[in-house]
Amino acid sequence: MLLLLIPSALLAQENVSAPAEQKSVEKKTKVHRLSSNKRAIYDGFVYLNRILEKAEEGESTSDVAGRIFGRLANQEGRVLLKLPAGMNRESYLGFKTFLQYEGKTSVGNCVACHAPADFSDLKKHVVTQGGAPMPTPSLRNLKKRNIDLRKAILGKIAASRQKRSGEADDIDDAYKKINLSKQDVSRLVAFLDLLNDVSDADFRKVILGAKLLDTSKDIE
């Protein structure tokens, strides 16, 4: 399996230039051609599969999700999707639910306010009935904040039901699209756990321990 790792000696021979900060990060991790200094398992997944890291200027969240889905479909279709160590099918499906912004099942629409790479739009939204606008928190490193992920997601589901029923018109419109089941909750929790940073040494292991996901059958 090709892991896109290029020896330092080869980089030197090719006279490949890179910013000083990037060289420093690559030297510590022994993983080359990194364009980000973020160090979560999710970032390993992005690196391994050449997935869009963040939106381009002026690009909508649905466009971002659409482009990522296009890349995932390409990798799935060729059975080339690589899961870094610590990521499994459940967390992968959770990522797809996180991105999903239309349809009748497994629609998290989380990307509307929590788009990568920082997983926050840095805006304020009303997220509870009668509540005040609150800044969107980043979903990175939630483990450090001791947040009960399952409880938080169930709260989002409750708010979405209130929004769709007309009981809470003040809640952000993004909640109208949310349509999740109990199975989706566990998958989303599994995905969010991938957003916790690891050390440079562990990040290298995350990359080197990658395995192909069997997508020869319909993954849905």
Q: Structure pTM?
A: 0.86
* Domain limits for position 155: 29-212
For residue 125, which of 167, 165, 156 has the smallest C-alpha distance? 156
What is the spatial distance between Cα 101 and Cα 121, in angstroms, rounded to a whole number? 16
Quick: pLDDT tens for 102-142. Answer: 999 999 999 999 999 999 999 999 999 999 999 999 999 99
Q: Is pLDDT of 218 > 80?
A: no
Do the domain assignments include residue 105?
yes
Instruction: Specify if 90 maps to a domain.
Output: yes
Identify whether 49 is part of a domain: yes
- Residue 8 belongs to a domain: no
Determine, yes or no, domain membership for 219: no
What torsion do the CA atoms of 154, 160, 166, 169 make, to the nearest 10 degrees? 110
Give the separation between CA 77 and CA 89, rounded to whole angstroms.
Answer: 16
| Exposure letters 167-191 (e unless 16+ CB within 10 A, then b) | ebeebbebbebbbbeeebbbbbbbb
Q: Report how far residue 148's alpha carbon sits from residue 142's, in angstroms, rounded to the nearest whole number.
A: 9
Cα–Cα distance, 74 to 78 (Å, whole number): 6
Confirm whether 4 is domain-assigned: no
- Separation between Cα atoms, residue 162 and residue 168, nearest integer Å: 6
Write phi, then psi, for 151 (nearest 5 degrees). Answer: -65, -40
User: Is residue 11, in this structure, part of any structural domain at all?
Assistant: no
Provide the pLDDT for residue 3: 40
CATH number at residue 117: 1.10.760
Report pLDDT digits (tens) over 162-213.
999 999 999 999 999 999 998 999 999 999 999 999 999 999 999 999 999 9
| Total tally of structural domains belonging to the chain | 1
Residue 17, domain member (yes or no): no
